[in-house]
Structure 1
Amino acid sequence: MRIYPLKFRPILKERLWGGTKLEKVLQKPIVSDITGESWELSAVSGDVSVVSNGELANTSLRTLIDRFPEALLGKSVVERFGKEFPILIKFIDAKQDLSIQLHPNDELAKKRHNSFGKTEMWYVMDADAGAELIVGFNKNVTKEQYSKSLEDDSLLELLNYETVNKGDTFFINTGKIHAIGAGVLLAEIQQTSDVTYRVFDFNRKDKNGNLRELHTEMALDAIDYEKKDDFKVRYDRTLDATNSMVDSPYFKTNFLNLTTDFIQDTASRDSFTIYMAVDGVADLKTNEGSARINKGETVLVPAMANRIHIETNGVQLLEVTI
């Protein structure tokens, strides 16, 4: 079977800090006013994406990978990851501040959780005036200073705050302490992993009146305690061109700001291509079929496609490959 560009049903997640922007801005079919995440493309156990368009509708991503591993993923991706889908794609709406957290690296995640680590990037799609992210420390700290800040409730004084606007992009490597602030709607691209070490949650209680679990001890050996300025992604926004944003061992992301039709040659890519529409609308066409992508939607183009014809009068896309 020749595999056409695939769309998937969003997997919607209620979160203590969630809101309604996923519906109001991205037209997601939420059923709760605390919806925090829309998992767009996932092979995480228990949350596997299911195709929503064309003759493969109702087929799970796992089934597709089992049936067409190289055609869907690319030979080099299969050689590296086997039949594991290495990327998790989300939209996140933070009505309230998220917990302050970090993620372990591959080695530690494998040892403790039999999982990949969680390197991720954020693209800000919408931000209330003055909205902030927490990314890293504002000075070098020691493990002892960090531990003392938890004891005396002064952790927030050690953290680096970044005021954000639409289009701002951040690369969050493993070990970096971080949090998405209230009023931010963003696209998240990450390694396939759901391993998070929560270290502070503003003493909030869940709907049952319980404090959420913290992972204080596990986080101690996973944190990067150095102050670093390596997180803000600076990228070109040249019209009708492929602009590199992130080029990491885990994923590569480009920014496409298209005003007219565009052809992306993927013959030598040997990887699937993911498109996230962060504004506008386009039709993505290959020899095997087509899919329309609207703002807030995600499309997976199989590795077997040698070129992708993007028809549009105006669209902004995040393009993700391995």
Structure 2
Amino acid sequence: MFLERQFVEKPWGRDDLPPEFGALGGQRIGEIWYNGVGQTPLPLLVKWMFTSEKLSIQVHPSEADARRRGLPSGKEECWYIVDAEPGAVLGIGTKRVLSADELRAASLSGEIEELLDWKTVRAGDYFYIPAGTVHAIGAGITLVEVQQPADITYRLYDYGRPRELHLEDGVSVAIPVPYKDARSGNVSGNLKLAEGPHFWFHHIVDDAGKGTIKTSGSHWIVPISGHSMLNGVPMNRGDCIMVDSLEQIHVERDSSLLIAGIAKG
């Protein structure tokens, strides 16, 4: 099943997306969601993201934090960098451990921008972002994000943009420490990018790569480059496809596909 695209305007988005994503009608698009619009909500949300400016410095709640607030779920996510302009950065974790009071004060003063650990990135980099991680995506980046389906973001700092901040909620769920998650690196060939409590995420480059994925159930497929087919129908960059079996797809050598699925409880 080819999932419907939902275009989401953002102040930090772009009005010059690659043509395979369709006509924008003058909109400044920051995200494209593949979330089963018009159907029962899907248990994973896949996004393409396009940045011309920095996103807010933000944090997402864990399952436990979300339940305490009456929310349907927490939000963990994984990023795969498709393209990055020279010098493009991601902010992940803080340079040192911060107390709640230090995080609140730094968010109010703007010092949080200096305390965030900004990492230079390139195409093929990937990062798993556990709930509670203080983070921000910089300008000049195109990435694919896989996440729990809850759209819950607590903004700590937004560079003076006139948008709502969520300082108390954000500080209460944040774990402001240096980022050391092993589920990060740069892709080379067929590789499991991440396996977390809620979803798994793989990168494959040929049909043999399908054999590295042992999990059954629904699979979300995101073509990045090269040629691949779903039951003889081409899958192209800009598509997101959900299938029940990887036997339905054929991946030509030196292609690049991202595949995600639900973690087994």
- Could you say which residue in structure 1 is the equivalent of 2:171? 220
* Distance in 1 separating the partners of 2:124 and 2:216: 28
- Could you say which residue in structure 2 is the equivalent of 1:230? 181
Is 2:154–2:167's contact at 8 Å kept on the other side of the alignment? yes
* Mapped pair 1:250 → 2:165: no
Q: Which moved more, 1:113-122 or 1:25-34?
A: 25-34
Instruction: Tell me: CA distance 1:95–1:171, structure 2 relative to 1, closer, same or farther (3 Å).
Output: same
Instruction: Tell me: CA distance 1:281–1:104, structure 2 relative to 1, closer, same or farther (3 Å).
Output: same
Runs of 4+ in 1 over 4 A off after TM superposition: 265-268
Which residues of structure 1 form unaligned runs of 5+? 1-5, 43-47, 50-59, 63-83, 205-210
Which residues of structure 2 form unaligned runs of 5+? none
**Equivalent residue letter for 1:220:** V
Give the drift of 1:280.
2.0
- TM-score, structure 1 length as denominator? 0.75
What is the DSSP-based 3-state SS (H/G/I as helix, E as strand, rest coil) of the residue aligned with 2:118? Answer: strand
* Distance in 2 separating the partners of 1:230 and 1:263: 24
* Mapped pair 1:29 → 2:7: no
Find the partner of 2:12 among 17, 21, 25.
17
Q: Percent identity?
A: 27
From the CA coordinates, give the structure whose radius of gyration is larger: 1
Is 2:76–2:130's contact at 8 Å kept on the other side of the alignment? yes
Find the partner of 2:74 among 117, 122, 139.
117
RMSD (Å) for aligned C-alpha atoms: 2.2
* Distance in 2 separating the partners of 1:147 and 1:262: 49
Give the drift of 1:126.
0.8
**Equivalent residue letter for 1:11:** Q
- TM-score, structure 2 length as denominator? 0.90
* Mapped pair 1:312 → 2:263: no
* Distance in 2 separating the partners of 1:235 and 1:310: 24
Q: Which moved more, 1:156-165 or 1:27-36?
A: 27-36
Give the drift of 1:281.
2.5
After superposition, give the CA deviation of every residue in 1:108-138 in whole Å (9 maximum; x if it has no partner): 1122142211100110111111011111101
Find the partner of 1:181 among 138, 157, 161.
138
* Distance in 1 separating the partners of 2:105 and 2:67: 29
* Distance in 1 separating the partners of 2:234 and 2:208: 15
What is the DSSP-based 3-state SS (H/G/I as helix, E as strand, rest coil) of the residue aligned with 2:96? Answer: coil
What is the DSSP-based 3-state SS (H/G/I as helix, E as strand, rest coil) of the residue aligned with 1:271? Answer: coil
- Could you say which residue in structure 2 is the equivalent of 1:172? 129
What is the DSSP-based 3-state SS (H/G/I as helix, E as strand, rest coil) of the residue aligned with 1:7? Answer: coil
* Distance in 1 separating the partners of 2:224 and 2:209: 19
- Could you say which residue in structure 2 is the equivalent of 1:74? none
What is the DSSP-based 3-state SS (H/G/I as helix, E as strand, rest coil) of the residue aligned with 1:109? Answer: helix
* Equivalent residues in 2 for 1:1-322, closer than 5 Å: 6-21=1-16, 23-24=17-18, 26-40=20-34, 42=35, 48-49=36-37, 60-62=38-40, 85-204=42-161, 211-230=162-181, 233-234=184-185, 237-238=188-189, 242-258=190-206, 261-262=207-208, 264=210, 269-285=215-231, 290-302=232-244, 305=245, 307-312=247-252, 314-322=254-262
What is the DSSP-based 3-state SS (H/G/I as helix, E as strand, rest coil) of the residue aligned with 2:177? Answer: coil
After superposition, give the CA deviation of every residue in 1:211-253 in whole Å (9 maximum; x if it has no partner): 1000001112100022232166136623xxx421101111111
Is 1:102–1:174's contact at 8 Å kept on the other side of the alignment? yes
Is 2:126–2:187's contact at 8 Å kept on the other side of the alignment? no
Is 2:228–2:249's contact at 8 Å kept on the other side of the alignment? no
**Equivalent residue letter for 2:229:** D
Instruction: Tell me: CA distance 1:147–1:265, structure 2 relative to 1, closer, same or farther (3 Å).
Output: closer
Is 2:96–2:178's contact at 8 Å kept on the other side of the alignment? yes
What is the DSSP-based 3-state SS (H/G/I as helix, E as strand, rest coil) of the residue aligned with 1:295? Answer: coil
Give the drift of 1:28.
3.0
